[in-house]
Chains A and B, each alone.
Chain A
Amino acid sequence: MTVLTLSRRGLLKGAALGLLASTAPIAVMAAAAKGGRLVVAADSEPKNLNPAIVASNGVFYIASKVIEPLAEASYDGKDGLEPRLAVSWEGAQDGRSVTFKLREGVTWHDGKPFTSADVAFSALEVWKKLQNIGRSVFANLETVETPDAATAIFRFSKPTPFQLIRNALPVATSVIPRHLYEGTDIATNPANTRLVGTGPFKFTEYKPGEYYRLTRNEAYWNKQAPLLDEIVYRVLPDRAGAGAALEAEEIQLAAFSAVPLADLARISKVAGIKVISRGYEALTYQLIVEINHRRKELADLKVRQAIAHAIDRKFVVDTIFLGYAAASTGPVPRNAPEFYTADVPTYDFDVAKANALLDEAGYKAGADGKRFSLKLLPAPYFNETRQFGAYLRQALAAIGIDAELVNNDSAAHQKAVYTDHAFDLAVAPPVFRGDPAISTTILVQSGLPAGVGFSNQGGYVSSTLDSIIAKAAETIDTDARTALYKDFQKQVVADLPLINVAEWGFITVARDTVENVPSNPRWAVSNWADTALKG
């Protein structure tokens, strides 16, 4: 029994209660795939757990089991989607409305029925006004009509591409209960930390610094689910600790590369532990070099091309990511086949060519072999972004550019890059979220105010790219819109407002007893209704 291996007193107490109250022991003894407690590692404790407001992976990791979106990403569903709270969705020809048919017979965890009014409230009051992603996707949402309890019609003031809405469904449409939020200050509502949703698990307990506990929703709309009785998120902020906890069977699963990449080769040989690299296809992170175009040297395309030629993408993939990544060709990852094109200019690793380009640009090496100096700010969020920073410094030294590394904590890094513009080069890990319009075009678009995080704050202005982005935003026809984004990729790689280096998904490490991992391309942040434990 896994329960016996839990070390924390609080957990044991919870475990004892859980066992008394549930049928778990019987289910486990019968060796059925149903029941049991899954203990997983959590590396952060988000202050606000409401996924309708904070659409980020750290929040989804916990909240997606409790609060569901209208649709989830899928390996084999139509348009890469499978239904959740909506059973069907259809866009109008003129791009001014989208009609959702909602699932019937769904109840909230507090027993109230789920209706189209909840969807209308979430869309107009939360996604559009408060959510980091919804603010742009639903910017033109005017009203949501609810002709009956199972129909919601989204009406837009300007034509809005249905393709964009569809691609944003898994990440931007978490539905929250209107009856708990209406008439309150949504941003500070207590239900943001004690979640109430429609999902397969109920939010039961949170001990700061120790664990979150979710328990089975007996009244879940899918009667075959969930298979687990409980999910416990043990807070393990120390990344070195997750591997040891897995080996000691204190936890059964660590997602989001909580086990460092360098430890995977060793831990994959430990009996009873498996390393899984699938389940993150719709959560592709991109390793990019952000460029401050206000620096006169970097405003020169030849210098940017030289830097692109100086980066050995094979080294980055093989050594920094230990093979758990792919070299990027442009701003859209291969994992987004709907938009991806390989028909873009390429920059081979070629130090001689890089040096020649810099000579051509007029930046001759001085007596000490240096052409000019730069400030390089690697984002501190991942080991890999910091290691790439250290590598990039060496790669630049090889072409005579003296890069001085500046290390900051997250808050100081964001302020330096996105507000103060106090950088020359920065290393960033933006996420591709299923559609270029969600979080990718903002990386090169001009005219954004200072302070907008993860956006073009390098002072890059290109009328060509700006017009492609603006045109795509109002192109309803899916094929025409896709063609525009292929052109977008070509232009970005040709003009290098930023340099795409690599793209990666995360790694899950789990005990062999955990089954059905992964079952969709956003697995770690999906509802885990079909996840099971072998008895």
Chain B
Amino acid sequence: MNTVSLSARNVTKRYGGVVALSDGNLDVQSGEVVALLGANGSGKSTLSKVITGVIAPNEGRLHLDGRAVTFSSPQAAKSVGITAVYQELSLIPDMTVAENIWLAHEPRRWGIAVDHREMRARTQDLIALFAGTVQSSLHPDALVNSLPPDERQVVEILKALSLQPRLMILDEATASLDSRQVARLFELIAEWKRQGMAIVFVSHRMDEIFRVADRATVLRNGASVGDRVISETTEQELVELMIEGMVAPDSVQGGQLAPDAPVRLQVRNLHTDLLKGISFDLHDGELLGLGGLQGQGQSDLLLALFGAIPCGGQVLLSGQPAHFSHPQQAMQRGLAFVPGDRATEGVLLIRSILENLQLPSWRKYGFPLNMVRARADAGQVAQELSLVMESLDAPVSSLSGGNAQKVVLGKWLLRNPRVLLLNDPTKGVDVRTKVEFYALLNRLRAAGTAILFYSSDDEELLSLCNRVLVLHDGRIRAELAGETLNHANLVSASMGTTNASNGYE
């Protein structure tokens, strides 16, 4: 493998009026691992996709081995040895592992026919790299949609590797891997480094960065703000770079729970495909946190309570059975749900703010709809949320991420919910809105609303919540409150370290 060096300079990417990346810079060369760091929405993924040709930048230059290059497609980037392992998977669900790995560079016989035997053999060799950390169901002929998430991620890594790249970008590639797979990956990365590969490692897990990276480049709000050599820096310093000037969430402290608050929601042995028996109580005026690594069943729990996915077990709302088969029933009983993915689950992008706010509530405006009253009510909520907007008739797509999220929350505030279910509501939201949001949660809590709050941001949970349930593998691994509610406990419970579970069923 020959040497390689790549540098990205002043890369900019805008979507309409929204700037995803304003000044992205990155240098990487053979035999080093550069960590690309930044908070959610800081532009890490955009920058890596520009480098791999998936996204066409508006401005900026790429230099490969000292020469300026532009990639018109992912194929163009691949042909010079640049490839990526993506966070959202790039696999075709209905094709086999081997077909996916070799897609677009299949070994061929007689110049035309795909050589399936050769493809299978080479796939077997690749899988062997992860031998001992994957199940036997991961074989060349397995369909990708029959694999668990961690093995799909492994296939994704092998797919990138099959191109024998000179530069590989690992974009949150460890998020769904278990600890042994991560350890194996890091051994492999060390090996690739020795062979002269250049690696960009995108992650938000600080410990992994310190284990594997040589240097770190930090992005904040779409711009590169610093470069550090890992051996000469500290976790603290990197975090400060990432959030410099930002308000730490603990500027808003959670209030105390009234000791005699009645139980609003009683959950007993709730189970779904992912959840394996969840039990807890949620009190009026309580802000109960859900923690843990992503995808441990937090979303399922919220969706099941809201009647959006089928579940078993017992749920009591104010003492009455509350087993819903459709969100409408949950809504009528005073539940509200703010989904995790705003764009695909929360808002109607092309419809007006007014229609988005009133979507769950139109029924109460009679026939023909009393638009004067609907508009007045929506306007009031918009004001309460200090929504920054042109008018109520502007489409939600004209709003910033934070304001769009306020609309999602606002549509439920119009219904005065008794129980609020929040699925990572501050993801990709700017800091100012976050602070407003925390204040609002506190107001709601003071008014007696029971809030169940999942967040992927540990700091948020620690500073806002009275109590945090840590989920791991579909179970409550720990309940943290008071003294035990600290960062160390949260992290160790998230990892499910208490007993050695190897991920096998």
Task: Indicate whether A and B interact.
Answer: no
Binding site for B on A (CB under 8 A): none
